[in-house]
Amino acid sequence: MTIVAIKILLVSISAGVLGSILGLGGGIIVTPALTLLFGVDIQHAIGASLISVIATSSGAAVAYIKDGITNIRVGMFLEIATTVGAITGALIAGLISPNLLYIIFGLLLLYSALAMLKKTKEELPEEVPLHNVAKTLKLQGEYYDKALKKNVSYKVDNVYSGFGVMYGAGIISGLLGIGSGSFKVMAMDVFMKLPLKVSSATSNFMMGVTGAASAGIYLYRGDISPIISAPVAIGVLIGATIGAKIMQRMKSKTIRKLFIPVLMYVAIQMMAQGLGVKL
Amino acid sequence: MSEMMNKDTEKSSKEINEVEIFVSKSLRFGVLVSGAVILLGLVLFLSSGEGGYPGDSYPTRLRDIFAGAFDMKPFGIILAGLVLLICTPIMRVGISALVFIKEKDWLYVGISTVVFFILVSGFFFGK
């Protein structure tokens, strides 16, 4: 038992590192690892992955806040879209075929992966106009970039499309029960043209908040098993703390190169699921 | 002129820093406490081999979880730590709302309050 717990702990550390760097919460590693490597049933794996998302968010946040990488205003504003989306998703479950949604959102992710490919040479977004709504909402911001060793101030564009994609991301998580961190990063990076580090950190902030909101339901249902979730929580907390420190010193270009293949993998997996193909 | 602007940004960034350091400290405290409680429960479970509940069962209601934790039942302690961990992002939203109140940023006081209530209602839907 102790050996298994240590193994889960080690996998969770790597999940925390990757999740905090990319803004994906870590569920993307924890769920398949628990089901495939440790034979955990999907229900308890999802419960543990929810814990992993929250642990990534809070563990990484401690390091991010000091340098102002997380944009709380952007996060709070978009959180309205995701929470209302999540409720919509829960309400329309059963009315709409999830397969169609899988395909639509898979295509959207693929599109954004391609859009990101064009940005691989770009360290920071250039000449972004300040959207009128962004100005009213004071969404623009500034952070200290440890890789570039300078303060980076940035503007925010396309608030409506970003908000729309976030609403979609909320529906997806309400309907399919996934964290949808990839959609959050995409909405901020591709649509609203925020710097990648800000998008990733803010996505983690938001995922923690959304995750915490639904965690009560999972807890009451008994999906959060103490034996599995304890090593996951501790491992991810350690991993996210390390990952957040690494991320601050990484160039955005490098983070993007890690992000694109993960995005493509998720896109293809979603479309395959929608088409009923087992990968 | 540019010197004046610099002074202005310095002043505002200093204010933001104070607030953010407070948020950061309370978050670190929450993370450390919940991590320590989960670790304690895990070590107790691994050393005794027993969760403190019949079979593989564990409590799923908040009251039962905290009652078990006070009785030093390993699974109760782990779950209590997990509940504390789940509370950290909610605490963060709550603190941000207080910060916006202090800054008299009423638009964001409104936005955070709306988000906070949607989240809290989500927590109680599960009952």
N- to C-terminal Cα distance for chain B?
Answer: 60
The rounded percent of chain A whose pLDDT value lies above 90 is 22
Phi, psi of B22, rounded to the nearest 5 degrees: -65, -45
For position A278, what pLDDT does the model report? 65
Sign, CA torsion A260/A262/A267/A272: positive
A-chain residues near B78 (CB < 8 A)? 226, 229-230
Two structure tokens written together for B12: 């505002």
For position A174, what pLDDT does the model report? 73
Find which of A4, A79, A150 to mutate to test the B interface (most B CBs within 10 Å of its CB): A79
- Put simply, the answer to whether B42 touches A231 (Cβ < 8 Å) is yes
B-chain residues near A66 (CB < 8 A)? 20-21, 24
For position B10, what pLDDT does the model report? 47
Tell me which residue of A61, A11, A17 sits closest to A31, measured CA to CA: A11
Write out pLDDT tens, residues B23-46.
Answer: 778 888 999 999 999 999 999 999
CB-based burial of residue A27 (10 Å sphere; 0-12 exposed, 13-18 middle, 19+ buried)? buried
Q: Which chain A residue lies closest to B86 (C-alpha atoms)?
A: A212
Task: For residue B55, give every residue at least 6 positions away whose Cβ sits within 8 Å of its Cβ, in sequence order, or none.
Answer: none
Q: Which amino acid is residue A135, in one-letter code?
A: K
For position B15, what pLDDT does the model report? 57
Find which of B19, B42, B114 to mutate to test the A interface (most A CBs within 10 Å of its CB): B42
Rounded to the nearest angstrom, the minimum Cα separation between B77 and chain A is 9
Rounded to the nearest angstrom, the minimum Cα separation between A272 and chain B is 31
| pTM for the structure as a whole | 0.86
What is the rounded distance in angstroms from the CA atom of residue A78 to the CA atom of residue A71? 11
Rounded to the nearest angstrom, the minimum Cα separation between B109 and chain A is 10
Average pLDDT over residues B108-116: 87
Find which of B92, B104, B127 to mutate to test the A interface (most A CBs within 10 Å of its CB): B92
- Put simply, the answer to whether B126 touches A219 (Cβ < 8 Å) is yes
CB-based burial of residue A94 (10 Å sphere; 0-12 exposed, 13-18 middle, 19+ buried)? exposed
Residue A190 has pLDDT above 60, yes or no: yes
- Put simply, the answer to whether A209 touches B93 (Cβ < 8 Å) is yes
For position B12, what pLDDT does the model report? 52
Rounded to the nearest angstrom, the minimum Cα separation between B86 and chain A is 5
CB A142, CB A151: distance < 8 Å: yes
For position B14, what pLDDT does the model report? 54
Phi, psi of A96, rounded to the nearest 5 degrees: -125, 145
Q: Dump strand ranges (E) for B16-92.
A: none
Find which of A64, A70, A227 to mutate to test the B interface (most B CBs within 10 Å of its CB): A227
What is the rounded distance in angstroms from the CA atom of residue A61 to the CA atom of residue A69? 9
For A65, the closest of B23, B41, B85 (CB atoms) is B23
- State chain A's mean pLDDT as an integer: 85
For position B28, what pLDDT does the model report? 87
Structural domain that includes position B65: 2-125
Task: For residue A95, give every residue at least 6 positions away whose Cβ sits within 8 Å of its Cβ, in sequence order, or none.
Answer: none
Region for residue B52 given its phi and psi (left: phi exceeds 0; alpha: psi -120 to 50; beta: otherwise): left
ipTM (interface predicted TM): 0.85
Rounded to the nearest angstrom, the minimum Cα separation between B3 and chain A is 17
Rounded to the nearest angstrom, the minimum Cα separation between A76 and chain B is 6
Q: Vertex B68, ends B62 and B73: CA angle to 5°?
A: 140
- Put simply, the answer to whether B38 touches A61 (Cβ < 8 Å) is no
Number of structural domains found in chain B? 1
Tell me which residue of A44, A75, A87 sits closest to A52, measured CA to CA: A44
Phi, psi of A145, rounded to the nearest 5 degrees: -90, 110
- Put simply, the answer to whether A208 touches B89 (Cβ < 8 Å) is yes
For B30, the closest of A58, A83, A216 (CB atoms) is A58
Q: Which amino acid is residue A40, in one-letter code?
A: V
B-chain residues near A57 (CB < 8 A)? 89
Write out pLDDT tens, residues B59-104.
Answer: 988 899 999 999 999 999 999 999 999 999 888 888 888 888 888 8
In the A/B pair of chains, how many CB contacts fall below 8 A? Answer: 152
Angle subtended by helix axes A159-176 and A98-117, to nearest 10: 140
Lowest mean pLDDT among A58-72, A93-107, A162-176, A188-202: A93-107
Task: For residue A133, give every residue at least 6 positions away whose Cβ sits within 8 Å of its Cβ, in sequence order, or none.
Answer: A159, A160
Q: Where are the alpha helices (DSSP H) in chain A?
A: 2-22, 27-32, 38, 42-66, 72-92, 98-117, 132-136, 159-176, 181-186, 196-221, 226-249, 252-275
Task: Find the helix or strand (DSSP H, E) in which A150 lies.
Answer: strand A150-154
- Put simply, the answer to whether B31 touches A237 (Cβ < 8 Å) is yes
Strand partners, A191: none
Task: For residue A187, give every residue at least 6 positions away whose Cβ sits within 8 Å of its Cβ, in sequence order, or none.
Answer: A78, A161, A162, A165, A166, A169
Average pLDDT over residues A162-181: 79
